[in-house]
Structure 1
Amino acid sequence: MTESDKVVSGHTDPVVRRGRGRPRCFDEQEALHKAMLLFWEYGYEATSISDLTQALNITAPSLYGSFGDKSQLFYRCLDYYLTTEACPIERIFQEARTARIAIEIYLHENIKKMVQEHKPAGCMLVVATMNCSEQNHQIQEQLLQKRHWVKQRIYERLQQGIQDQDLSPNNPIEAMSDFYTTIIQGMTLQARDGATIEQLNRVAEHAMKSWDTF
């Protein structure tokens, strides 16, 4: 019996049977990028498996086979976001000559990431779990830890400023860390509400004028 005969007779050999699953040209990085944009735009809970399979053009079994469940895919997308989209805090803090310059550059570079053409507004670390229910507490906790890490890095850069003597030992660096972290997170929400780069840059400029008041 020929292969065509097998198909017609309903006895297709398993070797030649092929369903809708994962495309032959499946690009994992491209898939992560598309899934990241959904989670970034709509949040973890509002993004359904159906949304993801349609955006990635794969079936649900193929999605599970490639990335695990929805939470595992979200964590992969979060890592992808931090690697490809988030403001490069380490490079900025290492290259800036003073603590003040480091914070000022970091504010303005964040704004460039918050308002981009063809990408969701704001920071994914802030917006992706804003409306999550208690059942997704673990995912909220993961993002909270990453936001705390950012604030800790701001604190450490201010601490380095004291060591480098470009910041006074009397400066309340914990309060400064809280203040500039709040500015960044607040600008994220403003970006989601439609604030322009120009508006957010003015916010950052006023925030830097507060530097000398600490």
Structure 2
Amino acid sequence: MTEHQDGIRAGYDGVVELYASMFADRLETRPFGRAMLSTFAELVRGTENLRTADAGCGPGHLTAMLCDLGLDAFGLDLSPGMVDHARRAHPALRFDEARMEALPVGDGALGGVLAHYSMIHTPPGELPALLAEQARVLAPGGLLMVSLFATDAPEPVRFDHKVAPAYSWPVDRFAGLLAGAGLDPFARLVHDPASERGFLEAHLLARRPRDSSVRVSPAER
């Protein structure tokens, strides 16, 4: 685990109850995010592979929402405190500790991966490998949804997040990274800031092409 991941894990472990209380009902007041999540779930259902990872699940509220939308969803998070909270809050669902760069999932096993603001702390230079890992676990035709902070600047903008340093991204640049990971970024929604940070918010949908081959993770070579 890298030094910045140690900081992220410790930071989120320290705010579990506060974070859960602030964000458990967040999508009830976020119509754009809610609409994209519903679209994501509908598209995953259409693949007939309902198994879906909520990567960076936090307190597990979106994992539960994905299940309510008809998916066989489970949650993964770097923070053991978040995983413990999610297990207590949603005892019927599965939650495990995991890094997004090394998912405990077989090649091509999933119909969907949700990354809801869970890539914002990843340094730009490490994102290609992280996205390649999400592509690895998707079955051909599987869907990835990424939500992130967006910027009109030409380069990613580092900012001081309350938990750990984070980045906002030019949407075209991020879509290019998705394409570089072997995915087809086919839909996006960008809207005005929904928080005091002032950044645009973006939701991108990408699909693993049906004719793509399964790439084996480095740990399995």
Class of the TM-score when normalised by the shorter of the 2 chains: under 0.3
Q: Which has the larger share of strand?
A: 2
Higher relative contact order (CA 8 A, sep 6+): 1
Q: Which has the larger share of helix?
A: 1
Of structures 1 and 2, the larger Rg is shown by 1
Query: TM-score, normalization: structure 2?
Result: 0.24
